[in-house]
Amino acid sequence: MHSTYQLLLSGQVQGVGMRFTVQKKAQQLGLKGIVKNLSNGKVKIIVQGKKAPINTFIRFLEDEGPGVIDHIDKEELESATHYTSFEITF
Protein backbone atom coordinates (compact mmCIF):
# COMPACT_ATOMS: atom_id res chain seq x y z
CA MET A 1 0.00 0.00 0.00
CA HIS A 2 1.22 3.47 -0.84
CA SER A 3 1.36 6.42 1.52
CA THR A 4 1.52 10.15 0.84
CA TYR A 5 3.37 12.60 3.07
CA GLN A 6 3.83 16.34 2.99
CA LEU A 7 7.24 17.41 4.26
CA LEU A 8 8.11 21.03 5.05
CA LEU A 9 11.83 21.61 5.39
CA SER A 10 13.02 24.65 7.30
CA GLY A 11 16.51 26.02 7.77
CA GLN A 12 19.03 26.88 5.06
CA VAL A 13 17.18 24.88 2.40
CA GLN A 14 16.92 27.21 -0.60
CA GLY A 15 19.77 28.06 -2.95
CA VAL A 16 21.70 24.90 -1.98
CA GLY A 17 20.53 22.45 -4.67
CA MET A 18 17.84 20.99 -2.43
CA ARG A 19 15.15 20.53 -5.09
CA PHE A 20 17.50 18.76 -7.50
CA THR A 21 18.93 16.52 -4.76
CA VAL A 22 15.43 15.67 -3.50
CA GLN A 23 14.24 14.83 -7.01
CA LYS A 24 17.25 12.60 -7.73
CA LYS A 25 16.98 10.68 -4.44
CA ALA A 26 13.20 10.24 -4.77
CA GLN A 27 13.62 8.86 -8.29
CA GLN A 28 16.36 6.47 -7.11
CA LEU A 29 13.97 5.14 -4.45
CA GLY A 30 11.03 4.82 -6.85
CA LEU A 31 9.02 7.56 -5.13
CA LYS A 32 6.58 9.95 -6.81
CA GLY A 33 5.54 13.50 -5.99
CA ILE A 34 6.75 17.09 -6.15
CA VAL A 35 9.25 19.46 -4.55
CA LYS A 36 9.11 23.24 -4.60
CA ASN A 37 10.50 26.33 -2.91
CA LEU A 38 8.01 28.36 -0.89
CA SER A 39 8.02 32.14 -0.55
CA ASN A 40 8.58 31.80 3.24
CA GLY A 41 12.02 30.23 2.70
CA LYS A 42 10.91 26.63 3.29
CA VAL A 43 10.90 23.74 0.84
CA LYS A 44 7.70 21.72 0.39
CA ILE A 45 7.81 18.08 -0.63
CA ILE A 46 4.85 15.83 -1.41
CA VAL A 47 6.15 12.26 -1.54
CA GLN A 48 4.22 9.11 -2.43
CA GLY A 49 5.28 5.50 -2.25
CA LYS A 50 5.77 2.59 0.09
CA LYS A 51 6.57 3.48 3.70
CA ALA A 52 10.04 1.87 3.81
CA PRO A 53 11.43 3.92 0.87
CA ILE A 54 9.77 7.06 2.25
CA ASN A 55 11.48 6.48 5.61
CA THR A 56 14.80 5.95 3.80
CA PHE A 57 14.17 9.21 1.89
CA ILE A 58 13.50 11.16 5.11
CA ARG A 59 16.61 9.71 6.80
CA PHE A 60 18.64 10.74 3.74
CA LEU A 61 17.34 14.31 4.07
CA GLU A 62 18.17 14.40 7.78
CA ASP A 63 21.66 12.91 7.41
CA GLU A 64 22.94 13.85 3.95
CA GLY A 65 20.68 16.51 2.46
CA PRO A 66 22.27 19.71 1.13
CA GLY A 67 22.12 22.91 3.15
CA VAL A 68 21.16 22.89 6.80
CA ILE A 69 17.78 21.39 7.63
CA ASP A 70 16.73 22.63 11.07
CA HIS A 71 13.36 20.89 11.10
CA ILE A 72 11.20 18.58 8.98
CA ASP A 73 7.47 18.94 9.59
CA LYS A 74 5.91 15.65 8.42
CA GLU A 75 2.20 15.13 7.84
CA GLU A 76 0.53 12.06 6.33
CA LEU A 77 -2.09 13.08 3.78
CA GLU A 78 -5.27 10.99 3.69
CA SER A 79 -6.40 12.01 0.21
CA ALA A 80 -3.96 13.35 -2.31
CA THR A 81 -3.31 13.71 -5.98
CA HIS A 82 -1.89 10.56 -7.57
CA TYR A 83 1.54 11.41 -8.95
CA THR A 84 3.11 9.48 -11.82
CA SER A 85 6.66 10.84 -11.47
CA PHE A 86 8.73 13.06 -9.16
CA GLU A 87 8.96 16.63 -10.43
CA ILE A 88 10.31 20.01 -9.43
CA THR A 89 7.50 22.55 -9.52
CA PHE A 90 7.64 26.32 -9.37
Sketch out the chain's domains with CATH numbers: 3-88 (3.30.70.100)
Between 40 and 2, the more confident residue is: 40
Return the exposure string of 60-69: e unless at least 16 CB atoms fall within 10 Å of the residue's CB, then b. Answer: bbeeebbbeb
Q: Is 19 a catalytic residue?
A: yes
Calculate mean pLDDT across residues 39-49.
97
pLDDT of residue 79: 76
Calculate the average pLDDT of the chain: 95
- CA gap 18, 61 in Å, rounded: 9
Of 27, 42, 3, 45, the closest CA to residue 86 belongs to 27
Residue 40 among the catalytic residues: no
Q: Which of 19, 40, 55, 59 is catalytic?
A: 19
- pTM for the whole structure: 0.95
**Position 11 pLDDT exceeds 80:** yes
